[in-house]
Amino acid sequence: MENELRKLSRSTEYQNLYNAVKECNGIQFFRNVSNFSGLQKTFLYWVSTYSMLFQELATMEDKFLTEKVIEDDIRCDAYLIYRKNKHTDFWKKHRQEEKLNEIKSRHPHQHKSGKTNLISTHFYRADQVKE
């Protein structure tokens, strides 16, 4: 059943209808406007997912996204996992850089070398003092 929903969701007819629904308030996909069934929710998920993929394909955002990928459910699922991981890694790195910049701004006396402008003092116990 899901394969048929995905095929309908990526069709030109339903992609055009989805875009029209987003742009115009008077158009709706279903007779009901709330309390969607599981089938309706699944269809909406896939139609919006394919819309996003077609937009990314048009802008050539990712060299791995092709029409072949979109048309093949297994390839598409693999691509969506790859895409999710890529974005997760990007935001993880971005947050780490933000934290590092925040630490640097709180400690402006720290140099890139790790050394500071502060005076270094060493404390020794009396029995460790060299003469």
> Domain range for residue 54?
2-108
- Structural domain contains residue 130: no
Average pLDDT, the chain: 85
pLDDT the model gives residue 95: 84
Phi, psi for 126 (deg, rounded to 5):
-55, -35
- For residue 53, what are the contacts with CB-CB under 8 A and spacing of at least 6? 65, 70, 76, 79
pLDDT the model gives residue 128: 67
pLDDT the model gives residue 89: 80
- Structural domain contains residue 51: yes
How many C-beta atoms lie closer than 10 Å to residue 11's C-beta? 13
- Structural domain contains residue 128: no
**Nearest in space to 43 (alpha carbons), one of 8, 76, 91:** 8
Per-residue pLDDT tens for 50-67?
999 999 999 998 899 999
Count structural domains, the chain. Answer: 1
- Structural domain contains residue 77: yes
- Structural domain contains residue 122: no
pLDDT the model gives residue 43: 93
Per-residue pLDDT tens for 74-119?
999 999 999 999 888 877 887 888 878 887 777 766 655 656 666 6
Q: How many CA atoms lie within 13 A of 122 on its CB side?
A: 5
Percent of the chain with pLDDT strictly greater than 70: 86
- Structural domain contains residue 97: yes
Do residues 55 and 84 touch, judged by C-beta distance below 8 A? no
What's the one-letter identity of residue 101?
N
